[in-house]
Amino acid sequence: MSTMSLKDLNKIPVRLASGHRLCAGCGESIIARQILMGTEKDVVVTCSTGCFEVSTTIFPYTSWKVPYVHTAFGNGAATCAGVETAYKALLKQGKVKEDIRFVNFAGDGATYDIGLQALSGAMERGHNMLFVCLNNEAYMNTGIQRSSATGFGASTTTSWAGSVSAGKKEFPKDMTAIIAAHGVPFAAQTAPHAWRDMITKSQKAFECGGPSFINAISPCPRGWRFAPEETINISKLAVETCIWPLYEVENGTDYTLSAESMRIAEGKVEKKPVTDWIDSQGRYKHLKNEKWEPVVEKLQKENDRKWASLLKLCDL
């Protein structure tokens, strides 16, 4: 698919039916629909346990109009790799003839934490599959517990903000870089407000001929404490503050900043302060208290450092 008009995209059959049980304003179904617009070929969807899995497959109903399988929480990559391996076996025997693509959707828990080992294994072995992280920055399915993707200073139900705590004490780990370091053909960060960015990346991922990874930030009204209609605005703000820069990495070393983040790098668009990010969500509301000023400063400083480091990787 070379064109990218909304009219053309509309012709791609809908793979995820409406009527699923995700919360109003959830970013996950938006991301999944955009990712699945990235290929016109037959696709098999697999899921790690999490919000997205439970909300789309409550027996006797399924929201999936394409083949779908889920097994457990920490093994989404192996779940997908199993179907892909069977495909290779049956394709060479002529028992399957279609040109099929494979994608696993996982939350940040099933990517950054419990699912990391299986993900690393699948990426290293070179299965021809796309792994998408629906990154809502905490264990939302079990009720907003911190993960290693949770932002510094966020209040969660296991990293509460309290009289002696400013919320989560650690910065999130750089999962996209970790996967890129496997030397996979394609790894990228994207966000649901940037539909063109996301679909282009999905197309590249599906056609890269090997393992690929897309880390999509997924604003969560319940967990981040904002109104459901703000999802797309929050997604945009993540990029504007450089909390979530958009970029892609080919073959582990070739970093390219994507258009929206590039405009900030070139100075065409203002890089917004992290206070804009903090002010937009209830999970950070305690940081408005004067006593946590040093925490906000630390967040801005680390955000600047990471942004500068990314620009260097992109030869900017």
CB of 86 to other proteins, least distance (A): 4
Q: How many CB atoms lie within 10 A of CB 170?
A: 12
Binding of other proteins by 1 (CB under 8 A): no
Binding of other proteins by 181 (CB under 8 A): no
Q: Which of residues 23-42 bind other proteins (CB under 8 A)?
A: 42
Closer residue to other proteins (CB): 36 or 262: 36
CB of 248 to other proteins, least distance (A): 26
From residue 118 to residue 147, the character string flagging contacts with other proteins as x (rule: CB under 8 A) and all else as - is x-xxx-xx----------------------
Count of residues for the chain? 316
CB of 176 to other proteins, least distance (A): 20
* C-alpha to C-alpha distances, 218 to 128, 133, 203, 233, 315, nearest whole angstrom: 25, 9, 19, 12, 28
In whole angstroms, give the CA distance from residue 20 to residue 77.
23
In whole angstroms, give the CA distance from residue 49 to residue 115.
10
CB of 178 to other proteins, least distance (A): 15
Closer residue to other proteins (CB): 62 or 289: 62
Closer residue to other proteins (CB): 126 or 252: 126
Residue 14 sits at φ, ψ, to 5 deg, of -75, 125
In whole angstroms, give the CA distance from residue 155 to residue 147.
12
Binding of other proteins by 103 (CB under 8 A): no
Q: How many CB atoms lie within 10 A of CB 256?
A: 16
From residue 57 to residue 96, the character string flagging contacts with other proteins as x (rule: CB under 8 A) and all else as - is xxxxxx-xxxxxxxxx-xx-xxxxxxx-xxxxxx-xx-xx
Closer residue to other proteins (CB): 81 or 216: 81
Q: How many CB atoms lie within 10 A of CB 113?
A: 18
Binding of other proteins by 117 (CB under 8 A): yes
Closer residue to other proteins (CB): 7 or 92: 92
Q: Which letter does DSSP use for residue 45 in this model? A: E
Q: Which of residues 40-59 bind other proteins (CB under 8 A)?
A: 42, 44, 46, 53-54, 57-59
From residue 211 to residue 250, the character string flagging contacts with other proteins as x (rule: CB under 8 A) and all else as - is ----------------------------------------
Residues binding other proteins: number (CB under 8 A) = 48
Segment 182-185 long-range contacts (CB within 8 Å, at least 24 positions apart): 182/120, 182/123, 182/124, 182/211, 182/252, 183/251, 183/252, 184/123, 184/210, 184/211, 184/212, 184/213, 184/251, 184/252, 185/209, 185/210, 185/211, 185/212, 185/250, 185/251
CB of 247 to other proteins, least distance (A): 27
In whole angstroms, give the CA distance from residue 34 to residue 9.
9
In whole angstroms, give the CA distance from residue 238 to residue 240.
6
Q: How many CB atoms lie within 10 A of CB 139?
A: 25
CB of 313 to other proteins, least distance (A): 27
Q: Which residues bind to other proteins, rule: CB under 8 A?
A: 42, 44, 46, 53-54, 57-62, 64-72, 74-75, 77-83, 85-90, 92-93, 95-96, 98, 100, 117-118, 120-122, 124-125
